[in-house]
Homo-oligomer: A and B are copies of this chain.
Amino acid sequence: MQSVYVAGVGMTKFGKDPRPLAEIFCQAAKLAVGAAELDKIDALYIGVLNPEEFTGDSNIASLIADAIGLTGIPALRIETASSAGAAALMAGFQAIASGYYRRVLVLGGEKMTHLTTSAATRVLAGVIDKRERQCGATMPALAAMMTEKYRQKSRISESRLSNMLCAVALKNHANGAHNPLAQFQRAIKREAYFASKFVATPLRLYDCAPITDGAAGVVLSSEKTDVCLSGIGQGTGTLSLQDREVFTSFPATKVAAARAYRMADVSAQNIDFAEVHDAFTPFEIISTEDLGFFPPGKGGDAVLDGKTALAGTLPVNLSGGLKARGHPVGASGLAQVVEVVKTLRGETWSKREFKRGLAQSTGGLGTNNFVTILQRTNAAAVQDLWPLGGSENGANHKTVAAPPAQQADEGVIETFTILYVTPDGFLPPLALALIRTPEGRLLMAQGEDESQLKIGQEVYLRRIDGVCLFTVKGQIQKVQDAFMKLFRRKAATPAPKDNRKEAPK
C-alpha cells in the first residue's frame, strides 16, 4: 500500500474577498502547486459546502478545473457540511493510497461575505435537521444548547464557564495576531469579550467564528517529502439534536480519532499540537476532550491553566483557529492541514519544534467529523502499511427508529438557549429548548416566553403548524395542575361502579 505525503500547501488571505469563488480557489491552487514544484497533477478533489446557494455556482468541479486552466483533468466535488475540506483530503488520500493517482490537488473553499448575516445563517442552518430548523434553530442555537448541557453535566458555574469560553477566544485571537493570512490579526481584551452581545445564550459574538471568504490547497503525492499524512479517520453522528443520546461530546470525533490514531500507530499522548474546529469556543473545549487530550469535563480547565497555549503541553489553534483565522466553511478543514504542515516545517510564528500535529474538523453539529495526523518524515519512522479497514473502530451502527407520533403535552427542559441572531422569518429573542417528554423522547421546541428557563424546568407543550411550543409551568399553574389531577381522580372514582352495571354479562 502506498504511503501518502504532502508535497505543497497554500491558502488565500482569509476575510472579505471581492473576487468570484472560482478565482479564490484558483489562487489557493496556484500557491499549493507552486510550493509543490510539480509539473503535473493527476486529479482535483474539491471540498465546498454550498456554492449552489452561496454564489449560484453548480457543477463546481468542472468550473474549478476550467478556472485553474486544467480542463480535462478528473475533478470531484466532495461535501460533508463544514468539514468538506477535510473530506476532500480523505478522498484525495484514498486516491493516492490506492495507486490510482500519483499526485492530486486537494482544494477547499467558500465565498460567503457577500450575503447578509441572516441570509448566510439561513444557508448554514440548512445543515441541521429540518424539524429543528422549523423551530428557528440555527447552528449557534444548537451549539449553545450543547454548551448549556455541558456546563450542567460538568458542574461548572455560569461565571466559570464564561471565563473558560473567554479564555479560548482570547487565546485564539492572540494567536491569530501572528498569522498574516488570518481574518482577524488583533488580540482582543477580556472586557471586549464580555461587552460583546449574546448570539444565543451562553454564547456571545466572540464565541462564534466569523463569516469568511477563502480557499486552501494541499498537494498530496506518492513521492516522499518532509511531511507524511500518517493517519486519517472519519466518523458521522446523528443529524438532529433531539435524536441524540449524548449532548456534551461528539461521538463522530471519537470514531474518527480512533481510526486516525490506529493508522498512525500513535495515541493522543504522542500528538505535539493540534488545530481544532472552534466554530464556537465550546467546541474547542469539547473536541480536545473527544480527542483524548483531556478528560471529559476538564477541557475548560486546561484552557484556563494555559495547557493549550503555545508554551503549554498541547498547543491548540496556534493559527488563530476558525475563531480568528476565519471560517470559509468548505475551506476550514483543509486550512487546518495547511497550518499543521507549515507549523511542522517551522514556517509559522511559533518557533517551537514539533514532530507530529493533528487537525480535527467538524461537519455540521458534529455530524461528519475528520481527524488527520501529519508528521515530519525525518522525525520518526513512518508506517508504510496499515491494517485493512473495518468499522470495528468504534462506529456506532445502531438503527435509528422512525419518529413515533409525538403527542406529549408536557415535559422537562433538557437544555435550552435564547437566540438573539435569528434566521429569516424568526424574531429575536427566540427561546429554544430540547424538551424531554414523559415517555423519554426529546423534542425541539420554541418557548412562548424567554424567562424562567433552566435545565430541569417543567413545561407545557402545544403544537401549531408542526412547530412545538413550550410554556414554563408557573407556581399557579402547578397548583391548578395538582387540583385538576385530584378533580379528575375524584370524578373518575364512582365511574367504575356505573360502568360495571352496563357491562355485558
Do A73 and B40 touch (CB < 8 A)? no
- Give complex CA distance A173, B236 in Å: 41
Contacts of A363 in B (CB 8 A): 59, 61-62
Contacts of A91 in B (CB 8 A): 76, 78, 91, 94
| Smallest beta-carbon distance A485→chain B, Å | 38
In chain A between 357 and 399, which residues have their CB closer than 8 angstroms to a CB of chain B? 363-364, 367-368, 386, 388-391, 394-399
- Give complex CA distance A61, B239 in Å: 10
Contacts of A181 in B (CB 8 A): none
- Give complex CA distance A255, B72 in Å: 7
Contacts of A76 in B (CB 8 A): 78-80, 87, 90-91, 234
Do A237 and B62 touch (CB < 8 A)? yes
Contacts of A49 in B (CB 8 A): 58
Contacts of A50 in B (CB 8 A): 52, 58
Contacts of A238 in B (CB 8 A): 66, 71
Do A388 and B52 touch (CB < 8 A)? no
A1-27 toward B: CB 8 Å interface, digit per residue (1/0)?
110000000000000000000000000
| Smallest beta-carbon distance A143→chain B, Å | 15
Contacts of A95 in B (CB 8 A): 94, 98
Contacts of A390 in B (CB 8 A): 40, 42, 102
Do B62 and A368 touch (CB < 8 A)? yes
Do B239 and A62 touch (CB < 8 A)? yes
A69 at the interface (CB under 8 A from B): yes
Do B81 and A59 touch (CB < 8 A)? yes
| Smallest beta-carbon distance A105→chain B, Å | 11
Q: A52-B52, A58-B126, A63-B239 are in contact. Are A391 and B73 (CB under 8 A)?
A: yes
- Give complex CA distance A70, B236 in Å: 9
- Give complex CA distance A100, B63 in Å: 30
Nearest residue (CB) in B for A387 is B99
A298 at the interface (CB under 8 A from B): no
Contacts of A388 in B (CB 8 A): 99, 102, 222
In chain A between 53 and 69, which residues have their CB closer than 8 angstroms to a CB of chain B? 53, 56-63, 65-67, 69
A102 is contacted by which of B56, B97, B98, B389 (Cβ under 8 Å)?
B389
In chain A between 63 and 118, which residues have their CB closer than 8 angstroms to a CB of chain B? 63, 65-67, 69-81, 87, 90-91, 93-102
A160 at the interface (CB under 8 A from B): no
Do A396 and B71 touch (CB < 8 A)? yes
A397 is contacted by which of B70, B99, B126, B364 (Cβ under 8 Å)?
B70
A299 at the interface (CB under 8 A from B): no
Q: A71-B398, A72-B395 are in contact. Are A389 and B66 (CB under 8 A)?
A: no
Do B74 and A234 touch (CB < 8 A)? yes
Contacts of A140 in B (CB 8 A): none
A340 at the interface (CB under 8 A from B): no
| Smallest beta-carbon distance A363→chain B, Å | 7
A252 at the interface (CB under 8 A from B): yes
In chain A between 384 and 443, which residues have their CB closer than 8 angstroms to a CB of chain B? 386, 388-391, 394-400
Contacts of A236 in B (CB 8 A): 61-62, 65-66, 70-75
Do A367 and B255 touch (CB < 8 A)? no
Nearest residue (CB) in B for A44 is B236
Residue of A61, A67, A87, A256 most packed against chain B (CB within 10 A): A61
A251 at the interface (CB under 8 A from B): yes
A237 is contacted by which of B40, B72, B256, B399 (Cβ under 8 Å)?
B72
A352 at the interface (CB under 8 A from B): no
| Smallest beta-carbon distance A91→chain B, Å | 5
A235 at the interface (CB under 8 A from B): yes
Do B94 and A59 touch (CB < 8 A)? no
A389 is contacted by which of B72, B93, B100, B234 (Cβ under 8 Å)?
B100
Q: Could you list 17 examples of A-B contacts with CB < 8 Å?
A: A42-B389, A52-B126, A61-B79, A61-B81, A69-B398, A71-B236, A72-B235, A72-B396, A73-B235, A74-B236, A75-B236, A77-B78, A78-B91, A98-B98, A98-B99, A99-B386, A100-B389
Q: Which 9 residue pairs spanning A and B have beta carbons closest together?
A: A58-B126, A97-B98, A69-B399, A72-B395, A62-B367, A98-B98, A74-B234, A72-B396, A59-B127
Known: A49-B58, A73-B395, A79-B79. 9 other contacts (CB 8 A): A61-B79, A62-B237, A62-B363, A72-B251, A72-B391, A73-B236, A73-B397, A99-B386, A102-B389
